[in-house]
């Protein structure tokens, strides 16, 4: 009989899948790493597992403790999955720009959700950083993993995501592309790939970041954008810019258009930061020779964005639709 002891044992080991249609006009191979196939539906399962196990080992997290984290949803799901197995409580703090769908998912896993305003600076007492600090401090047995500064976030990618990509491409990849949120994914994965590439093939692997226009990683001032889970208005400790060769800025409009194309043309129902990463990957891939192999990481599923990116009315309200998508009964019957 083949079965897992617990759903949390199935984190990682996600497949690579070739992009076929959105790559028209590009000579090289572009492979997507489908992180939505993790049991919690996102790349964040990986850091959740590693951060909790490390905190148990160090004694920071004690039996019966409460995990308190500011999270846009995905990290919360990962933490909730692992917490369930190990008997911890979870309280998550989300900014109000995060979709109601995503918050309800956290509640479904048994977590408590606290919502804070998006439009206040990080040092404001109502910001999601400040509120989560306060709850963690005031809750007995409270522990805040703090994905923005916890070295076990990048470490989980150094230990799992990086080696998986190297092995699945037989060491043949030439570029790795990922969006930057906390920076944990690109820092840990990129560091591993840089090191092994330096060792095995003279360091030919390039590490490319994708960032929403307006975010600090691509030189912005932190002005608002709509794509969720990526970009920042400050520099977190989980991000090491030295690992990254180039950061490509992508607009919301480009990100969302590509997100929709990935579902329609590639059968990949994924989130907005995936569209963003693919836009950056394709822009980069256009400059590469035919024997290059680009791996782009797709962090989460599109299911959490049905009332936003995949909703014509929402898209049109921001001017993202070019008019051809929504048809009325009259149009169809005419
Ligand atoms: N996309 C989504 C949807 C996310 O939730 C995150 C995590 N904030 C990322 C991308 C970026 O990953 P990282 O935090 O590792 O940079």
CA 327 to the chain's CA centroid:
32
Token pair belonging to 149: 């500064």
Q: Give the pLDDT confidence score for residue 331 in this predicted structure.
A: 66
What pTM did the predictor assign?
A: 0.93
* Out of 16-30, 31-45, 73-87, least confident range: 73-87
Token pair belonging to 254: 């480009």
What are the beta bridge partners of residue 94? 115
Q: Give the pLDDT confidence score for residue 96 in this predicted structure.
A: 87
Q: SS3 sequence, 120-182?
A: CCCCCCCCHHHHHHHHHHHCCCEECCCCCCCCHHHHHHHHHHHHHHHHHCCCCCCEEEEECCC
236 CB less than 6 Å from ligand 1? no
Q: In what order do the strands lie in the sheet with 66-70?
A: 112-116, 89-95, 66-70, 142-143
70 CB less than 6 Å from ligand 1? no
Please check the confidence at residue 122 and state whether its pLDDT lies above 90.
no
Which residue is associated with the tokens 């192999």?
293
| pLDDT tens readout for residues 273-309 | 999 999 999 999 999 999 999 999 999 999 989 999 9
Q: Which atom of ligand 1 is nearest to the CA of 300?
A: 3
What are the beta bridge partners of residue 26? none
**Mean per-residue pLDDT, 94-123:** 88
Protein residue closest via CA to atom 4 of ligand 1:
229
Are 306 and 271 in contact by the 8 Å Cβ rule? The answer is no
Q: Give the pLDDT confidence score for residue 327 in this predicted structure.
A: 63
Token pair belonging to 185: 């994914």
Please state the ipTM of this predicted complex.
Answer: 0.98
Q: Which atom of ligand 1 is nearest to the CA of 299?
A: 1
CA 297 to the chain's CA centroid:
8
d(CA 67, CA 83): 8
Q: Give the pLDDT confidence score for residue 97 in this predicted structure.
A: 78
Average of per-residue pLDDT values in the chain: 94
| pLDDT tens readout for residues 87-98 | 999 999 988 877
């Amino acid at each position: 009989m083949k079965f897992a002891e617990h759903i949390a044992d199935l984190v990682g080991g996600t497949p690579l899948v070739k992009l076929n249609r959105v790559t028209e006009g590009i000579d090289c191979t572009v492979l997507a790493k489908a992180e939505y196939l993790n049991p919690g539906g996102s790349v964040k399962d990986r850091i959740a597992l590693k951060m909790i196990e490390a905190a148990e080992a160090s004694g920071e997290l004690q039996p019966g403790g409460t995990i308190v984290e500011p999270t846009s949803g995905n990290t919360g799901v990962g933490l909730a999955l692992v917490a369930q197995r190990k008997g911890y409580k979870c309280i998550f703090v989300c900014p109000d720009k995060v979709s109601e769908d995503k918050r309800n998912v956290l509640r479904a896993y048994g977590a408590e959700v606290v919502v804070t305003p998006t439009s206040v600076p990080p040092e404001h007492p109502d910001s999601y950083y400040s509120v989560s600090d306060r709850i963690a401090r005031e809750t007995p047995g409270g522990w805040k993993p703090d994905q923005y500064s916890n070295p076990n976030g990048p470490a989980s990618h150094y230990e799992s995501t990086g080696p998986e990509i190297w092995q699945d491409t037989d060491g043949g990849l030439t570029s790795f592309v990922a969006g930057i949120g906390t920076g944990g994914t690109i820092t840990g994965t990129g560091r591993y790939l840089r090191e092994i590439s330096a060792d095995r093939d003279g360091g030919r692997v390039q590490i490319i970041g994708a960032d929403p226009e307006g975010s600090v990683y691509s030189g912005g001032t932190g002005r608002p954008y709509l794509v969720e889970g990526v970009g920042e208005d400050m520099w977190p400790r989980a991000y090491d810019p030295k690992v990254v060769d180039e950061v490509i800025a992508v607009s919301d409009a480009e990100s969302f258009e590509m997100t929709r194309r990935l579902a329609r043309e590639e059968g990949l129902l994924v989130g907005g930061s995936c569209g963003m990463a693919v836009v950056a990957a394709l822009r980069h891939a256009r400059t590469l020779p035919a024997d290059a192999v680009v791996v782009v990481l797709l962090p989460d599923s599109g299911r959490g964005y049905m009332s936003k990116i995949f909703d014509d009315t929402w898209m049109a309200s921001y001017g993202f639709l070019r008019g051809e998508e929504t048809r009325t009964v009259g149009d169809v019957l005419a």
